[in-house]
């Protein structure tokens, strides 16, 4: 009888070991994975002749790849819009991928995209949809010929950019979501106007659009004398 119990216990132990091996085996076997970042450049014009992708930086992106064992590889992407597939070898288990650009370019003139993905042990490839997850787009439209410059309070040297709109004296800027600050509009007659961007920070972005958050202020007329 003792022999029967012993054999039964050995069978249970063997089954347990087999189940454990099935769970941990994927993380112990190295594999190559393929990653393809994609960018949807089909977007609508944002204001006048200036379109959403005009401020998009597409160069000098980095892809950070980390596996379950802590192995990390960084891949340089020359142009995020080239639809290239990148092969990464010797990855173990679940693989975590983060694509981003270091630096945002000139203040208010540019914005960048980010993307991320998780590849489970049984998967060897993925596509990452790059999207704007940080920046909002602000357009200020005043009557033609009335604006001297527009800038962030305490940052007079970094002014907003001309939209080249013929209907308005329009200026635009890209800024980080949640970055609240006061905007000062200086007019050619010496008066000025201010507003706070705090109320603009609503999130209406979509995964298929590069830049879907736009705020537009038209025909500013309430002027305040500097004196």
* Spans of all domains in the chain: 30-129, 135-217
CATH of 135-217, one of 3.40.1000, 1.20.120, 2.60.40, 1.10.3470: 2.60.40
Q: What is the 3-state secondary structure (H, E, C) of the chain?
A: CHHHHHHHHHHHHHHHHHHHHHHHHHHHCCEEEEEEEECCCCCCEEECCEEHHHHECCEEEEEEEECCCCCEEEEEEEECCCCCCEEEEEECCCEEEEEEECCCCCCCCCECCEEEEEECCCCCEEEEECECCCEEEEEEEECCCCEEEEEECCEEEEECEECCCCCCEEEEEEEECCCCCEEEEEECCCCEEEEEHHHHCCCCCCCCCCCCCEEEECCCCCCECCC
Q: How far apart are CA 211 and CA 108, in angstroms?
A: 14
Tens-level pLDDT at each residue, the chain (227 residues): 545 555 545 555 554 444 443 344 445 789 999 999 998 765 443 444 666 567 888 999 999 999 999 999 999 999 999 989 999 999 999 999 999 998 777 778 888 889 999 999 999 999 999 988 778 777 788 888 888 999 988 888 889 988 888 888 888 888 876 677 788 888 888 888 887 776 554 443 322 222 333 344 444 444 433 33
Give the pairing of strands 31-38 and 125-129.
parallel
β-strand partners of 195: 183
Q: How far apart are CA 108 and CA 183, in angstroms?
A: 12
CATH number 3.40.50.1370 given to 30-129? no
Decide: residue 107, CB within 10 A, 0-12 exposed, 13-18 middle, 19+ buried: middle
Q: Do domains 30-129 and 135-217 have the same CATH topology?
A: yes
pLDDT tens per residue, range 115-161: 999 999 999 999 999 988 778 777 788 888 888 999 988 888 889 98
Q: What are phi and psi of 23, to 5 degrees?
A: -75, -45
Q: Which candidate, 47, 56, 92, places its Cα nearest to that of 73?
A: 92
Cβ pair 56, 111 in contact under 8 A? yes
Beta strands across the sheet bearing 192-196:
155-159, 147-152, 182-187, 192-196
């Amino acid at each position: 009888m003792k022999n029967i119990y012993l054999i039964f216990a050995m069978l249970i132990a063997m089954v347990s070991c087999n189940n454990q091996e099935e769970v941990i085996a994927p993380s112990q076997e190295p594999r190559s994975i393929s990653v393809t970042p994609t960018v949807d450049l089909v977007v609508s014009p944002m204001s006048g002749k200036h379109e959403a992708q005009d401020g998009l930086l597409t160069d000098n992106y980095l892809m950070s790849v980390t596996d379950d064992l802590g192995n990390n590889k960084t891949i340089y992407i020359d142009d995020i819009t080239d639809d290239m597939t990148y092969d990464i070898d010797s990855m173990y288990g679940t693989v975590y991928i983060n694509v981003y650009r270091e630096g945002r370019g000139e203040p208010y003139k540019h914005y960048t995209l980010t993307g991320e993905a998780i590849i489970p042990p049984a998967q060897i490839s993925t596509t990452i949809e790059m999207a704007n997850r940080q920046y909002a787009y602000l357009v200020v439209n005043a009557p033609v010929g009335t604006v001297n410059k527009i800038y962030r309070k305490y940052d007079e040297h970094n002014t907003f950019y001309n939209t080249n709109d013929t209907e308005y004296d329009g200026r635009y800027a890209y800024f980080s979501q949640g970055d609240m600050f006061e905007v000062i509009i200086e007019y050619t007659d010496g008066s000025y106007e201010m507003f706070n961007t705090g109320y603009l920070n609503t999130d209406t972005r979509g995964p298929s659009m590069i830049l879907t958050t736009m705020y537009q202020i038209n025909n500013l007329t309430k002027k305040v004398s500097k004196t």
